[in-house]
Structure 1
Amino acid sequence: MPVKDVAKIAYAYMDARMGARIDYDTRCPTHALLNVPIYGSHMPPTLGTGGYDGSMLNGLNILPSYTDYFHLNPATTGLNTASVFIGGFLGPLVTGVLTDRIGRRLTIFWGSVVTLGGVILQTAAQNIAMFVIARIFLGFGAAVSGIASGVYLAETFPSRWRAWGVGLLNDFYYVGALIAAGITLGTGEWQSTWAWRAPSLFQGIFSLLCILVIPFIPESPRWLVHEGFYDSARTVVAQTNANGDLNHPISLIVYKEIVDTLEWEKKEGRTMSPKEIVKTPTARKRLLIGSSAGPFSCIAGNIIASYYLGDELDTAGITSSIQQLKANVVLNVWCLFCALLGTHLAANWGRKPTALLSQGLLIACLFIIGGLSKVYADDPNGASKSLIYGDVAVMFLFQGFYSIAWTPLLYLYPPEVMNYSIRANGVAFSQLTLNGLALALVFVMPIGINNIGWRMYMINGGWDIVTFFLIWYYWVETKGKTLEEIDAIFDGEKHSAVPDVENVRAGSVTIDQNAIEDELREEKITSKTE
């Protein structure tokens, strides 16, 4: 059965659950108008899985019941931990095409199903091979649902709330991380394998929540327009921009921008092929700038504390497993606060300035941590309490400063920079590079810390200096613009004649709604006859 026929059946089922009338001639649900805007609030659980995973592995790598059960050494510790990134590397290879073919929300659904299966297998693991295979499935599903979620939220949220809407997707990482830190602290003294199996089992709650909510939310309006589902697309735009008012000037302008821009892309011969991301100089520029968020966030240095907090605290002289588990809880509270602060800055100050601020603070922290860790390593027995606590304090500051920019921007910036024809595949490419680097770094990090200790911080600091200047020179600002208005930055022009949304919202520009409605009717008729 063709993939689109499968999608048709699945959407018919989902829309029937939503109480919608199905128009089988157009394969499109005509959604009942809602009285409240739909902001895709179901999406954060997809990234809660990733945050839970990082914090859980932090806790498990501290627990003797876990390390002794698998008889772990530095190499197998890295393998157990990094195997999730094998799946995370494989997931993006298919997610872009799948997201464009069957739709954003159905891709999220199936990604969550695979993730849930991986969680169950991980909980039941009897040996390293079984644990690693489970985490590959888990990473694959999480990557699929995470990429599709980022694209979905960027395409569905109104421009004025997009930073919060998409930023919270990854901010929820620390909600999952905080839950995992609390659970591993609670099970840390259990004298059985359930000390690590119970935290693993709870990881599935985020995917389960996503599966339950998905049938009750609409599809991305951009995907609906591209597939010819104009009435449903306009309804979703009205729901998210004007409390369901189809005739509101803002919802009309946003919808007209989408229709005009996607029609322009079709006339220009833009396809949904993965090759489109490198087909033209503009596409390559968008890809390099947009996808840089993935690798930049990965090499910033946070992987040390994200997965090997115990080893990091060991270098600072804090070796008690219970104290390390408590530190894991405090760390995630602090990072959640900083991520929310960063989302506020990205929304009000801008994406680029927020990234530069965060990156500058990371550079300073890494060199301070490296210096303090060196002093401790030279004379661990003679190290003062102030030195140890100072080192830990800067480690915590570092993780918070990382969260200011990279937590919200990782899923916010790539879909903003990329136009519709390359958006899903471009975001998938960003995650592919991120997971490829993470796979290598998470595997080698415990070996590196064991062999060269404090020098790992200095290496990361050098990388961050290079990253700072790349952001400063190449990144563009996307704050306050719709996805279609960002085209003017790269293409030199906006592909719709209607004024910018914020100008209409501010009242500085007026529109002729009747004329726009006439144009939309003509475009709809033309599209159906082609």
Structure 2
Amino acid sequence: MKKTSTGTWMPAWVPESTLVLSFLLMICAMVQSATGGYDGSMLNGLNILPSYTSYFNLNPATTGLNTASVFIGTFFGAVISGVLADRLGRRPAIFWGSAVTLVGILLQTAAQNIAMFVVARIVLGFGSAISGVAGSVYLAETFPSRWRAWGVGLLNDFYYVGALIAAGITLGTGEWNSTWAWRAPSLFQGIFSLACIIILPFIPESPRWLVHEGFHKEARLVVALTNSDGNQSDPVTITVYKEILDTLNWEKSQDRTMSPKEIIKTPVARKRLLIGGSAGPFSCIAGNIIASYYLGSELETAGITSNLEQLKANVVLNVWCLACALVGTHLAARWGRKSTALLSQTLLIACLFIIGGLSKMYADDPDGASNALVYGDVAVMFLFQGFYSIAWTPLLYLYPPEVLNYSIRANGIAFSSFALNAFALVFVYIMPIGLNNIGWKMYMVNGSWDIIILVLIAVYWVETKGKTLEEIDAIFEGEKHSSVPNVELVRQGKESVDVGKVEQQIMAEVQTMRE
């Protein structure tokens, strides 16, 4: 372990092994991700439990309010998350977000009425939005480019691990004849935020944030720790550090600040924002909200009405989605982000129209519906969730920080999160009402707007696979703002760097910045 300065009040004792450090960064991503997944699956289970619905005397409107209120918190949390991540540092923002999330979880567990439950979920959502945005920025900026797809993709992949744990717990407590049938699952949700806080002292601050704040020596050490087991003279480390230094110097020479206004200041910034920020709202309105929060209602449209069978389906669904998310992360790393999104979106559209058609057949004659029709409909619902997980689960947090440059990265991701939660607040609230009023037609409506999303991705998205965050600038700016070769070419031995010459350039550049 090596003590490293972080430029903040939070010290760090970081492993000198790049592999060990990468695993710690992945664990940080996993436990953050699990919080959100646990929440969605827990509410799925609670909405099936009579002990929960009868305690609060829920109807479709109050069910939607109890469930969707978390997005009120994430909506407002997203507004300030980018500013906090830029001003406090990435790790402190994650810490405070996790701490607020814990407070919300304790209030939710102790809720005595709908009002208290809703307030608790607003607090929970507020904290999770801050840690989610800061975590996405932090991991994208800290992971070496060769592992970034996996490192940042896991920030949402393990949503389903949290979801699976929640599904199993609500299945186990579902038979309890007390309010602890829903309070116990709520309390357990705090374990993930607590684990995140425990891990933070053993991972470094973002090297890009450190360079921007003038902590050049500390930033170079972090680059070495994350790329070459702490060897600061390694050619790859030198190349990565020089790219960061050159690019941030160029941004400063263009008078680019960390103000939230920067995201709309120039045509290039607006283009980056629209492309990178689209991942949030696109993933939200793709159609997974029905199964993510109202699986019981969805299964009822297909003829599965037993509470126990619905809870079992919730467990199986999350195992399937986790497997698909991991496959999707592999595709994003090897095949590319845009191609994976196009594949996933096409499959989603097909599934939505099939589900709508099968649900209509069941609704027209529920008494005469065959088992083949019922289970065929359920099978396609499961396929839909898996196909969603292939692209949208890993890309939700992976794609935006890649597209957005440093000066707009945190605020741009905050905007994407803001847009996602604005849509989610509406859709999570109206879905139970829509399913109750128009049933199978909701799937047809959803499938229609998914076609528009497919076209927008095909026309406007860019590919970011295999590039460092600084190298992606060339796609939007027309040129790379550093004289060193691309990092992956150096790593593969296809290009070489004169370490001594680059060292001199770095020393001169740092000296100029300090003056």
Which band: TM-score by shorter chain? Answer: over 0.9
Matching residue within 189, 198, 206 for 2:192:
206
Matching residue within 117, 122, 146 for 2:103:
117
Three-state SS of the structure 2 residue aligned to 1:20 is strand
- For the residues of structure 2 that align with 1:480 and 1:56, how far apart are their CA atoms? 37
Q: Is 2:343 the counterpart of 1:357?
A: yes
* Fraction of identical pairs, as percent: 73
Q: Is 2:459 the counterpart of 1:480?
A: no
Code of the residue aligned with 2:17 in structure 1: it is N
Matches within 5 A, 1:333-344: 333-344=319-330
Greater mean alpha carbon deviation, residues 62-71 or residues 38-47: 38-47
Matching residue within 257, 279, 286 for 2:265:
279
Q: Given the superposition, is the C-alpha separation of residues 251 and 324 from structure 1 closer, same or farther in structure 2, using an over 3 Å criterion?
A: same
- For the residues of structure 2 that align with 1:227 and 1:23, how far apart are their CA atoms? 11
Q: Is 2:161 the counterpart of 1:175?
A: yes
Q: Is 2:16 the counterpart of 1:34?
A: yes
Q: Is the 8 A contact 1:44 1:170 kept in 2?
A: yes
Matching residue within 477, 480, 490 for 1:494:
480
CA deviations 1:427-475 (Å, max 9, x no partner) are: 0000000000000000000000000000000011001100000000000
1:508, CA displacement in angstroms? 1.7
CA deviations 1:375-401 (Å, max 9, x no partner) are: 000010010000000000000000000
1:35, CA displacement in angstroms? 3.2
Code of the residue aligned with 1:479 in structure 2: it is K
CA deviations 1:310-356 (Å, max 9, x no partner) are: 00000000000000000000000000000000000000000000000
1:521, CA displacement in angstroms? 0.4
Code of the residue aligned with 1:518 in structure 2: it is Q
- For the residues of structure 2 that align with 1:369 and 1:280, how far apart are their CA atoms? 43
Code of the residue aligned with 2:368 in structure 1: it is G
Q: Is the 8 A contact 1:31 1:232 kept in 2?
A: no
Q: Given the superposition, is the C-alpha separation of residues 72 and 349 from structure 1 closer, same or farther in structure 2, using an over 3 Å criterion?
A: same
Matches within 5 A, 1:85-484: 85-484=71-470
Code of the residue aligned with 1:20 in structure 2: it is K
| Aligned residue number for residue 5 of structure 1 | none
Flag as ranges the 4+ runs of structure 1 deviating above 4 A: 21-24, 26-33
Three-state SS of the structure 1 residue aligned to 2:303 is coil
1:22, CA displacement in angstroms? 5.7
CA deviations 1:251-275 (Å, max 9, x no partner) are: 1100000000000000100000000
- For the residues of structure 1 that align with 2:5 and 2:200, how far apart are their CA atoms? 17
1:229, CA displacement in angstroms? 0.6
Matches within 5 A, 1:62-77: 62-77=48-63
- For the residues of structure 2 that align with 1:438 and 1:313, how far apart are their CA atoms? 21
Code of the residue aligned with 2:91 in structure 1: it is R
| Aligned residue number for residue 11 of structure 1 | none
Q: Is the 8 A contact 1:29 1:232 kept in 2?
A: no
Q: Is the 8 A contact 1:33 1:244 kept in 2?
A: no
Q: Given the superposition, is the C-alpha separation of residues 32 and 127 from structure 1 closer, same or farther in structure 2, using an over 3 Å criterion?
A: closer
Q: Given the superposition, is the C-alpha separation of residues 67 and 29 from structure 1 closer, same or farther in structure 2, using an over 3 Å criterion?
A: closer
Q: Is the 8 A contact 1:343 1:408 kept in 2?
A: yes
Q: Is 2:38 the counterpart of 1:52?
A: yes
1:238, CA displacement in angstroms? 0.8
| Aligned residue number for residue 514 of structure 2 | 528
1:507, CA displacement in angstroms? 1.6
Code of the residue aligned with 1:528 in structure 2: it is R
1:36, CA displacement in angstroms? 3.6
Q: TM-score when scaled to structure 1?
A: 0.95
Q: Given the superposition, is the C-alpha separation of residues 508 and 22 from structure 1 closer, same or farther in structure 2, using an over 3 Å criterion?
A: closer
Code of the residue aligned with 1:241 in structure 2: it is N
Three-state SS of the structure 2 residue aligned to 1:247 is coil
Three-state SS of the structure 1 residue aligned to 2:47 is helix
Code of the residue aligned with 1:35 in structure 2: it is S
Matching residue within 503, 506, 511 for 2:489:
503
Q: Given the superposition, is the C-alpha separation of residues 510 and 21 from structure 1 closer, same or farther in structure 2, using an over 3 Å criterion?
A: closer
Q: Is 2:16 the counterpart of 1:20?
A: no
Three-state SS of the structure 2 residue aligned to 1:68 is helix
Q: Is 2:499 the counterpart of 1:513?
A: yes
Q: Give the aligned length.
A: 511
Code of the residue aligned with 2:491 in structure 1: it is R
Code of the residue aligned with 1:402 in structure 2: it is Y
- For the residues of structure 2 that align with 1:275 and 1:353, how far apart are their CA atoms? 32
Code of the residue aligned with 1:443 in structure 2: it is Y
- Structure 1: which 5+ runs fail to align? 1-17
Q: Is the 8 A contact 1:47 1:142 kept in 2?
A: no
Q: Given the superposition, is the C-alpha separation of residues 372 and 51 from structure 1 closer, same or farther in structure 2, using an over 3 Å criterion?
A: same
Code of the residue aligned with 2:467 in structure 1: it is K
Q: Is the 8 A contact 1:52 1:173 kept in 2?
A: yes
Code of the residue aligned with 2:117 in structure 1: it is F
Q: Given the superposition, is the C-alpha separation of residues 240 and 433 from structure 1 closer, same or farther in structure 2, using an over 3 Å criterion?
A: same
Code of the residue aligned with 2:330 in structure 1: it is H
Code of the residue aligned with 1:263 in structure 2: it is N
- For the residues of structure 2 that align with 1:219 and 1:23, how far apart are their CA atoms? 5
- For the residues of structure 1 that align with 2:305 and 2:227, how far apart are their CA atoms? 52
CA RMSD of aligned residues (A): 1.5
Code of the residue aligned with 1:195 in structure 2: it is A
- For the residues of structure 1 that align with 2:10 and 2:483, how far apart are their CA atoms? 28
Code of the residue aligned with 1:113 in structure 2: it is A
Code of the residue aligned with 1:59 in structure 2: it is G
Three-state SS of the structure 2 residue aligned to 1:376 is helix
- Structure 2: which 5+ runs fail to align? none
Code of the residue aligned with 2:501 in structure 1: it is A
